[in-house]
């Protein structure tokens, strides 16, 4: 017999998606409520970056820097990479990329190394798939093979029902590719901590990201340079939003799915993810320019569209980034009054991710500008 008390509270209590999202945010700007003007919020700052020649990036400050914890997560991550089939050299390079430090910076409400490894493993697996399948031909990326590789990556992440002997061949394929092993292992680790809804949330945000990768592959295959608006449309689904879907898992709570997918909340998460990935494009532009066949990068797309210099395009992207962060601030303020502690914690987690992500990009050897 169903638990009627539980059923009733699910549909009529405060769990009714936080009182229908606080009557569609009607209380978000109460009279007399603190509403700091953009630029005066102590959680944010204009931060210099790169060689300091470009305008600063407006972003949250990091909430925690704990190098000891980061080193422990990176140590465990390198051991895991070896178990997945990566060579000793590849595992060492993975450690040097400091993905463990990224997640320690990005998830300041979690100090459990094993729980932090959920995000560290999945971020490392996503980066490995991006490098080895999509971006780096020297590492084995073959654009024509990208779609079928990503189809297997989805099968590795989201286990399929048994299909007789055909499953034997699938399992053999999934166990014979280190990237697929890493993706499957990362999701198995997630399943030990997250709910089914959180598990599937990560799957489907990743699969949307994979679609953007195929768009990049098609542009390369057709020798086509997309306009900046089209690249940005794809980039918003290929952003750190995917990583941010893990915020509540690492925090040890669950944001109700109906709140997670509220248009304003999802919009705030997309803003945070896109702002963070524009930071990635800005820090990557020097490295990308050195490539004989530069990958798509918002700075380079803007430069091509406007027929302007790279420094001018950098300024345009900095302006775009800063505007997205201010838009996020506005939604953050509106949602403070929604009667959901989980939502307030998740929104702070998004803010913390942006701050930690900037700190990681500004210090990671992966993006360090050669002197």
Supply the pLDDT for residue 134.
86
Supply the pLDDT for residue 295.
84
Query: CB neighbours of 134 closer than 8 A, spacing ≥ 6?
Result: 141, 143, 146, 213, 216, 217
Supply the pLDDT for residue 9.
32
**Dist. CA 175–CA 181, nearest whole Å:** 6
Supply the pLDDT for residue 16.
62
Query: CB neighbours of 96 closer than 8 A, spacing ≥ 6?
Result: 365
Supply the pLDDT for residue 15.
58
Strand partners, 60: 44
Supply the pLDDT for residue 93.
84
E strands in the chain: 44-47, 57-60
Parse the chain into domains and list their residue ranges.
Answer: 49-367
Supply the pLDDT for residue 80.
97
Element spanning 333, H or E: helix 310-335
Helix, strand, coil percentages, rounded to 5, for the chain: 70, 0, 30
Tokens standing for residue 198: 């959180």
Q: What is the pLDDT of residues 135-172, one digit of tens each?
A: 776 667 778 889 999 999 999 999 999 999 999 999 99
List the chain residues with pLDDT less than 70.
Answer: 1-39, 137-139, 368-371
Q: Are 189 and 117 in contact (CB under 8 A)?
A: yes
Q: Are 130 and 217 in contact (CB under 8 A)?
A: no
Q: Are 100 and 77 in contact (CB under 8 A)?
A: yes
**Cα–Cα distance list, 26 to 19, 20, 71, 297, 323 (Å):** 11, 10, 45, 39, 24
Which residue shows structure tokens 């190098």?
A: 67
| CATH superfamily of the domain spanning 49-367 | Farnesyl Diphosphate Synthase (1.10.600.10)
For the full predicted model, state whether its pTM sits above 0.85: yes
């Amino acid at each position: 017999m169903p638990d009627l008390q539980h059923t009733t509270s699910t549909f009529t209590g405060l769990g009714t998606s936080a009182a229908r999202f606080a009557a569609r945010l009607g209380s978000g700007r109460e009279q007399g409520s603190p509403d700091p003007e953009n630029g005066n919020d102590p959680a944010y700052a204009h931060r210099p970056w790169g060689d300091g020649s470009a305008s600063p990036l407006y972003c949250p400050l990091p909430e925690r820097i704990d190098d000891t914890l980061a080193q422990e997560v990176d140590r465990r991550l390198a051991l895991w990479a070896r178990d997945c089939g990566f060579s000793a050299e590849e595992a060492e390079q993975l450690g040097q990329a400091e993905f463990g430090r990224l997640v320690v910076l990005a998830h300041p409400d979690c100090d459990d190394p094993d729980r932090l490894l959920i995000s560290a493993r999945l971020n490392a697996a996503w980066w490995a798939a991006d490098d080895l399948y999509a971006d780096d031909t020297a590492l084995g990326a073959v654009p024509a093979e990208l779609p079928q590789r990503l189809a297997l990556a989805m099968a590795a992440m989201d286990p399929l029902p048994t299909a007789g002997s055909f499953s034997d061949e699938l399992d053999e394929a999934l166990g014979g590719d280190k990237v697929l092993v890493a993706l499957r292992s990362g999701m198995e680790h997630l399943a030990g901590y997250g709910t089914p809804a959180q598990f599937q949330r990560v799957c489907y945000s990743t699969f949307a990201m994979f679609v953007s990768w195929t768009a990049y592959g098609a542009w390369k295959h057709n020798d086509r340079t997309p306009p900046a608006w089209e690249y940005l449309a794809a980039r918003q689904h290929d952003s750190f939003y995917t990583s941010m879907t893990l915020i509540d898992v690492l925090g040890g709570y669950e944001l109700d799915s109906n709140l997670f997918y509220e248009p304003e909340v999802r919009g705030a998460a997309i803003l945070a993810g896109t702002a963070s990935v524009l930071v990635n494009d800005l820090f990557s532009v020097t490295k990308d320019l050195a490539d004989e066949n530069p990958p798509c990068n918002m700075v380079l797309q803007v430069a091509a569209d406007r027929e302007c210099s790279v420094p001018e395009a950098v300024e345009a992207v900095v302006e775009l980034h800063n505007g997205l962060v201010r838009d996020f601030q506005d939604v953050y303020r509106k949602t403070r009054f929604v009667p959901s502690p989980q939502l307030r914690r998740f929104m702070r987690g998004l803010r913390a991710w942006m701050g930690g992500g900037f700190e990681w990009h500004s210090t990671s050897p992966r993006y360090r500008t050669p002197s």
